[in-house]
Chain A
Amino acid sequence: MASPEIHHLFHNPIADHSFSPDKGTLAVARDNNVELYGKEGNKFSLTDELKGHEKTVTGVDIAPNSGRIVTCSQDRNAYVWERTESGWKPTLVLLRINRAATFVRWSPSEQKFAVGSGARVIAVCYFEEENDWWISKHLKKPIRSTITTLAWHPNSVLLAAGSTDSHARVFSSYIKGIDTRPEPSAWGERLPFNTICGEFLNDSAGWIHGVSFSPSGNALAFTGHDSSVTVVYPSAPEQPPRAMLNITTRYLPLNSLIWNGENEIIAAGHDCEPYRFQGDESGWQLAGTIENKTGAGAGSVREESALNMFRQMDLKGQSQVDTQLKTVHQNTISTVRIYEETNGNVNKFSTSGVDGRVVIWTI
């Protein structure tokens, strides 16, 4: 396992991050703006800023093919940014929500994106040629609280959402004229807009922090504030799931997760390091941390010299400073994303967190 590539961008929390498909550009949400970093050699340096939001930006996503960037913020707005000769040009999206937007992701087809919000709706947004405008349709029922996270099924119609009402749900976001009719699957056959294809609550009922479909789309994993990961295998439309497996951990809650193939999940959160879960329909278990902690942590402990020791005792009244975590991230990890994959198998993934670091891990 190669050592992780660490980019310490600044000393602010990173709410969300996204890489361009060529990995040359990194977009991170920092306070009210989105900052674009360009890769120069082994380092990322600030190249551009997307200014327009008036409150904290909560989500950013770069569409892999079109290169368009979508952002959403607590000011209840979302913008689609397009690169023009005179710089990045924002287009306002009509979200029609009266609470903060919390999360945004492009669908794999890039024809649509979904915005989660505190107004207990998910705005599914698409471009209307006639009006030259991004408009939205709302997924409302039966959401009872803020949407915290979203994930798209590979068919771009099914959408998984996690909420603070402790339920993970799978909706159909089928929009006539935009989407092609999806093939029937275990989630459903006919899928008109706002069909509820699944609603899941695990026993200890924590707020949901992260959801993700497996590469095939035939399994769903979610993680919540109860420090557990739950994997659901649907059986048939309108039927209870074939299997719903809950893995409780001994760690602090996990915030975000991705699938690596069909039999491995990588999740990270408040314990500042990514963990690996392995299993299949018959059972899942924790397989340990991905972090290689044998070496010193990110802030690699300086060589212990007598001079250093006495200096520390003089300055701080202690011979050793141990304010640094042994992990690469020095604070909560909030987002885990796939960086590089081949046929659903992840080769590299990236994490960002409250410590202002973006880390690229090689598996």
Chain B
Amino acid sequence: MSQLNYRTINIDVLDPESSVNFPMVTLLPPNLPPPETSSDAANVANQVRQLLRSGDSEGALRHVLDTAPLGGDDRAKEVHMAAVIDVLQGIRQSEMTRVLEGVCSGEGGSERADCLMKYLYKGMSSPGPSSGAQSPHKSMSPQSTGGFSQIQARNLGEGGGGQQMSVLLSWHEKLVELTGTGSIVRVMTDRRTV
């Protein structure tokens, strides 16, 4: 019989009562849209970039938030994330408030606001596209690990990552003014990750 080191067995996995075996799918609402593929996400990204080029920045942001792949696979989410970041970076600081007020009002406005907040936090937790050195962390999402690690490099320094961070932070400031702390709380509870 082979030697088994019993101390290294993770007994929590074997205990059906244990919290690590909690069925997370039970926290997803039944009205979740079907999973999207990355090519769907790429299509949406193209439409959004077109809108942005034509100068309709409010329409672009509205569309990209309405089509968020809440039920999509990780690849689709990454592609969509890149589109969102592009839109956010493509809107000038002086226009932010006006665009936000437009996007976060009307039918489904509060859902769009919550969705944007999810993208802001995801964007701040993952390294920017230009910093290749940290690619192993790329798949990390604050929502799947359940916490915002302080150890992970924040890449606030030089390079594109820092610039992206400052854009996200100014969006965050404007969005909190509009939607309050409730929206931040919902990013933490909501299991429909982006």
Contact = CB atoms under 8 A, between A and B. Distances in A.
Tell whether A pairs with B.
Answer: yes
Given A248-B110, A250-B183, A251-B181, A224 B26 contact: no
B29 A201 contact: yes
Contacts of A251: 180-182
A322 to B, nearest CB: 19
A312 B183 CA distance: 37
B190 A205 contact: yes
A44 B154 CA distance: 53
A109 interface: no
B23 A144 contact: yes
B40 to A, nearest CB: 22
B26 A225 contact: no
A145 B22 CA distance: 9
Given A249-B180, A250-B179, 14 more contacts: A144-B22, A145-B22, A165-B26, A166-B27, A201-B27, A201-B29, A203-B31, A203-B192, A204-B114, A205-B29, A226-B185, A226-B190, A227-B181, A253-B185
Contacts of A166: 27, 189
A252 interface: yes
Contacts of B30: 201
Interface of A: 144-145, 165-167, 201-207, 224-228, 248-253
A204 B22 contact: no
B92 interface: no
Interface of B is mostly: helix
Interface residues of B, number: 21
Interface in B149-194: 179-183, 185-186, 189-192
Contacts of A228: 182, 186
B100 to A, nearest CB: 14
Which of A145, A201, A202, A204: most chain B CB closer than 10 A? A204
> Which DSSP category, helix, strand, loop or mixed, fits chain A's interface?
loop
Interface of B: 22-23, 26-31, 110, 114, 179-183, 185-186, 189-192
Nearest to B29: A203
12 contacts: A166-B27, A202-B29, A204-B114, A204-B189, A204-B190, A205-B29, A226-B185, A226-B189, A248-B114, A250-B180, A250-B183, A253-B185
Nearest to A248: B110
A203 B191 CA distance: 9
Contacts of A248: 110, 114, 182, 186
Contact of A205 (B27, B110, B180, B182): B27
Contacts of B22: 144-145, 165
Contact of B182 (A202, A203, A252): A252
Contacts of B28: 205
Contacts of B185: 206, 225-227, 252-253
A253 B185 CA distance: 8
Nearest to A142: B26
A224 B27 CA distance: 13
B189 A224 contact: yes
Across chains A and B, which 9 residue pairs bring their CB atoms closest together, nearest first? Answer: A250-B180, A227-B182, A206-B189, A204-B190, A226-B189, A250-B182, A205-B27, A204-B186, A227-B185
A86 B124 CA distance: 64
Contacts of A224: 189
Contacts of B26: 144, 165, 167, 201
Nearest to B30: A201
A228 B189 CA distance: 11
A252 B181 contact: yes
A227 B185 CA distance: 7
Interface centre among A206, A224, A248, A253, by most chain B C-beta atoms within 10 angstroms, is A248
B114 A205 contact: no
